[in-house]
């Protein structure tokens, strides 16, 4: 069984702070394609990426679970 995560809350915050994933990817130094693949459960975020994205999105680290580790119910 492959774990799938629900990035809905993360996507909302990206839109709120940056307007688009493309703008966030440029700021974070992550390719747009790589970010898209990870948001669509075709890859996993690294610890460094999670930390950097939370910082850029102005989200406290204690909320990492809510943004990156909410399991998608199928």
Domains recognised in the chain with CATH numbers: 9-64 (1.10.260)
User: What tens digit of pLDDT does each residue of 61-72 get?
Assistant: 999 999 999 999
Task: Give this prediction's pTM.
Answer: 0.92
pLDDT tens readout for residues 18-62 = 999 999 999 999 999 999 999 999 999 999 999 999 999 999 999
CA distances from 39 to 6, 9 (A): 8, 11
């Amino acid at each position: 069984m492959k774990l799938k995560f629900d990035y809905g809350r993360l996507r909302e915050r990206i839109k709120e702070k940056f307007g688009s994933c493309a703008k966030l990817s440029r700021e974070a130094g992550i390719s747009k394609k790589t970010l898209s693949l990870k948001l669509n459960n075709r890859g996993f975020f690294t610890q460094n990426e999670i930390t950097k994205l939370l910082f850029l999105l102005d989200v406290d680290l204690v909320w990492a679970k809510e943004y990156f580790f909410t399991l998608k119910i199928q």
